[in-house]
Amino acid sequence: MASGIATRGAVWHVADMAIIASRRYEHGKPSETPRPVTGEARDALPPHVFDWVGLADPTDEEMEQVRRQFGLHPLAVEDALNPTQMPKVEIYGQHLFIVARTVASLEGDNLSYGQTAIFLARDFVVTVRLGSTRAHDKLRQRLENDSERLTEGPDYVAHAILDFIVDGYQPVIERLEEAVQTMEERAIDSFPEPSTIRRIFRLRRQFRKFTRIIGPMEEVCERLAFTELPVVDPGARVWFRDVLDHVRRTMARMAMLRDTLASVVETASLLEQHRQGDMTRQLAAWAAILAVPTAIAGIYGMNFDYMPELHSKWGYPAVWAVILLICGGLWLRFRRIGWL
């Protein structure tokens, strides 16, 4: 273990280490004595007493010390250090291992993901964050201010962590909704530019990736909410059902965004076809009107000697009258049917 140990209140903070906080709770109240991670196996704690250790991007050596102290299964530890795990729930004896995926950030149109692994037992909860920018400090403080809920034990802490992770999806979804709404409004005014079309397909690819990575969170919450598990009290399942509801709403919003993007290009294409149809009808109407004087002028340009109108005093104005009458009639007709 690295040196440079410091305490902040009753929370165990270690400089330049992965251990963000380590604390013991007795009947919902934090202990005043810091709980160092020594790597030595500990004894089981009495009821209503548990430890909560939080780690961020730990090394293999640091995780090995935590594994020895809390008796974690080596396979679970290996999965906790693998940043590409999919959300899942696994049982290792009397320990529960939960993997949840976090949305780390939204850079441009690209989503980056992190991971939070939760080791859950009757007398401890250990969280391991990989690539996640949202620390649990505020969550821990909020839970410590509600000792009645914290008395329910580590399973309630696990619910709070999962709820915290799922709530972190919402700001990203809202930003994506704003981007999609902007593109949808612009598509009504004009056909999207090639750059916009490329962005639409990039976003659709990100939405499919989101569904593939975050989608299994629904199965995780379903299992925690409805399956009998070793360290989850039946009374705690209602809290996991609430998280499940949040996950389902998130996935529904993402599905709606994906469908909206799919319809943006289709809607813009239909509107563009309609605009092109209007232009085509207008051009066809004017072509029909201009065809009348063109045809008559073509007849009089044939240079025949025996054309009575050539020697008639009223021939020229009569031809113009016919042209204007026919063209005017065609204009009124096309105007009436909406072509002009």
Instruction: Please report the pLDDT score of residue 184 as a whole number.
Output: 78
Highest mean pLDDT among 20-29, 30-39, 75-84, 258-267: 75-84
Check whether 78 has a pLDDT greater than 90: yes
Q: For the residues 65-91, what does the mean pLDDT come to?
A: 93
Which pLDDT value is given to residue 115? 93
Whether 223 shows a pLDDT value over 70: the answer reads yes
Higher pLDDT, 149 or 188: 149
Higher pLDDT, 203 or 109: 203
What integer pLDDT is reported at residue 221 of this predicted model? 94
Q: How many CA atoms within 13 Å lie on the side-chain side of 233?
A: 11
Which range has the worst mean pLDDT, 183-197, 277-291, 319-333?
183-197
Residue of 63, 93, 68 whose CA lies nearest to 80: 63
Tens digit of each residue's pLDDT (9 = 90 or more) over 37-50:
776 778 888 888 89
pLDDT of 79 reads 94
- Residue 128 in this model has a pLDDT that exceeds 90: yes
Q: What pLDDT does 226 receive?
A: 92
Angle at 132 between CA 7 and CA 10, to 5 degrees: 15
36/46 Cα distance (integer angstroms): 19
Rounded to two decimals, what is the model's pTM?
Answer: 0.74
Contact 92/71 with Cβ under 8 angstroms?
no
- Average pLDDT of the segment spanning 46-74: 91
pLDDT digits (tens, 9 = 90+) for 224-258: 999 998 889 888 889 999 999 999 999 999 988 88
| CA dihedral (235, 238, 239, 241) positive or negative | positive
Dihedral over alpha carbons 219, 224, 226, 230 (to 10 degrees): 140
Lowest mean pLDDT, pick from 110-114, 256-260, 305-309 = 305-309
To the nearest whole number, what is the mean pLDDT of the chain? Answer: 83
Dist CA 27 CA 153 (whole Å) = 8
Alpha carbons 100 and 66: distance in angstroms, whole number: 20
Task: Report helix angle 237-300 to 169-189, nearest 10.
Answer: 10
pLDDT for 126 equals 95
Confidence (pLDDT) at 218: 93
Find the mean pLDDT for residues 17-26: 79
pLDDT value for 205 = 87
